Chain A
Amino acid sequence: MAGKPVRPANAIDQTRRMLSLVTYLRERPGARIEDVARAFGITEDELVSDLDVLPMCGTSFRGGDLLDIDTDGERIWWHNPAALGAEAAEPLRLAADEATALLVAARAVATLPGLRESDRQALLRATAKVETAAGEAAGASARLSVTFESEGGVFADVDRAIAERRRLWIRYYSPARDELSEREIDPIRLVSVGHTYVEAWCRRSEARRTFRLDRVAEIKILDEPSAPPEIELRDLSEALVQPAAEDPVVVVEVGPGGRWVAEYYPHDSADELPDGGLRVTLRTPDPASLKRLALRLGRDGRIVAPDDLADSARRAAREALAAYDDAGTAG
C-alpha cells in the first residue's frame, strides 16, 4: 500500500508479533500463509521469518518441548500445540505503548469532520472497548493527542465523489496569486497530514495536483464520471510539495525574527549570519509566489536573489504605501 512506512526489522516488534502468532495459530490448524500475513498486517516474507524462529522456541530448552511448527509454503501446521500449556497461549494484555498508539490514532481519526457518521460511531465504540480492555495501560494515552484539520462540508463532498466516482467542480484559492480559480478535478484520494488534502487529476492543467481542503472556497459534485488516468500513488509521508532540481533558486536573508522561514519552507540550505539571522536558499517553480513572503517579512528579512523578485516586492510595498499617503486619514 502506498504511504506505508518502511520499518527496519526490530526484535521487540517481532517478539510481540510471535507471541500473538502462537495464540492465533493454536486455534487455526492448517492456516494459510497468505491469510495469516494479511490478518497480522505483515508481508509473507516477514511471516516466514517468524516461522523460522518459532521452532527454536519453547518453554524450556532442556525439556525438549520446542514448538513443532512448520509450513509447506502454503499452510502452517503446529504438531504439538500441547507444548504450550493452554494458559501460556492466551491473548496478552496491551502494553502502555500499544494502547497509546491505537487509542491516540483512533481518537484522532474520530475528529475528522468529514468521517461518515456510521464509521465514527463504530470507531467510538471500538475505542471505548479497547480503553476498557487496556485498563491501566490506557492511562498514558491521554498524554498524546492529535487533531486533524479539515473543512467538514468540503470533506464530505470529496469523500462522496470518490466513493461514487464523480467529477468535482471547485473554486480554489491560490495564496501565491491571491486569486480564486475554477477547476474540474477527478479526485483520487484524501490525505490528512496536519491539513487535509485531496489528491486529484486536474482537468485544466492535465496533471496531478494536491488541493488543501481549507482553500476550497466552493465545491460541487458533477454528474460526469470521474476518470483519472492510472497514476502511481506517491508516498506522502514527507512534504507534499517537493521542489524539483531545475526550479529557480531564491535566496532570502532574515534576521532573528524571520528564522521561522527555515521551518516553513523546504530549503536547500540555511546558513547562520553573524547577527543571529539566517541566509536561506530554496527552490521554487514559481518565484513570484514568494512576493508575499517578502512583504510579510517586513524588517525581519529581504529577498537577496533573484533581483526581479526583490524589485517586485519593493514596488508592491511602495504601491501599498501610496494608498495611505492619499487617504491621509482613516475612513
Chain B
Amino acid sequence: MTTIRLRPRVRRSKVLYSIIGVVVALIWVFPVYWMLNSSLLSNVVLQDATPTFLPIGGSFANFSAVFAGGTFFPALGMSVVIALIVVVLCLLFAFLAALAISRFRFRGRKAFVLAVLLIQMLPAEGLFIAQYKLLSSVGLLNSVIGISVLYTASVVPFTIWMLRGFVAGIPIELEEAAMVDGLSRTQAFLRITFPLLAPGLIASGVYAFLQVWNEFTIALVVLPDNASATLPLWLQGFIQQSASRATDWGQVMAASTLVAVPVIIFFLFVQGRMTSGLVSGAVKG
C-alpha cells in the first residue's frame, strides 16, 4: 500500500504511526532485554531500590557461577541427547509418511491424514497422566528412551504435515522424466527428489528440535528425578527456589539466557515456514 506521492496529512499520520510502532517494539522487547541486562549485573545491584537499566559495570560472573553450579551441564546433556534422538526419528518417520500421503493414493489415506491433523491438536495435559502410567509400568520413568518415544509421537504429526507440503511442492514430472531416462523409481527419487527436499528436511528438523528443547509439561511428569532433568526442568528449579528464599536473580537470568539463546538463533531460521504451515489454508504464499 505504498503511495508514491504522499500528501502532507498522510505523511504526518505515517510519522505518528511510526512513533507508536517504535514504542510498541520497545515494550515488547523489554522482557528479553531485561533478561540480558540482569544476567550481567551482580545480585547486590539487582536488589537495589532503583533498577539499573544498562549493564554498565556488568560482568559474566553470573554465567560462570551457573556453570560452576554443576547442574547445568548434566541438564544440557540430557536435553541435547533427547533432542537428537527425537529429531532423527521424527524426520525419518515423518518423511516416509509424508511420501506416502503426497505420492500415493491408497485406501485409508484420508483417515490417516485426518488422524495426523487431530492428534496434532491434542493437548499434552489430556494424556500425560496415562503416559506417566505407561512409562512407569515398563520402568522407563527418568529415562532418555521413554521420553524420546513420547516426544517423537507428539512432534511427528506436525512434521508429517510440514514435510507433506515440501514433497508435494516438487513436481512428480521431474521424477517421471528421470524414469523415462532409464532410472528406477527408487533411483529417480534418491537422485532427483531427495536433494530438492533438503531445505524442507532442515526446516522440519529445526522445528522438531525447538519443540523438544522447550518442552516442559511432559518432562515434568515423566522425569521426576532431579538427576534426569532437561534444561526447562532445570530452569524451573530456580523459580521454585524464588518462592522460598532470596533468589540470586542475576544467576537465574544468566541461566535463562543460556537456555534461550540457541532457541532464538534456530527460531529465526524456521519462523517463516512455521507460520505458513499453521495457517497455510488461509494465507496463500
Q: Verify that A and B bind, or say they do not.
A: no
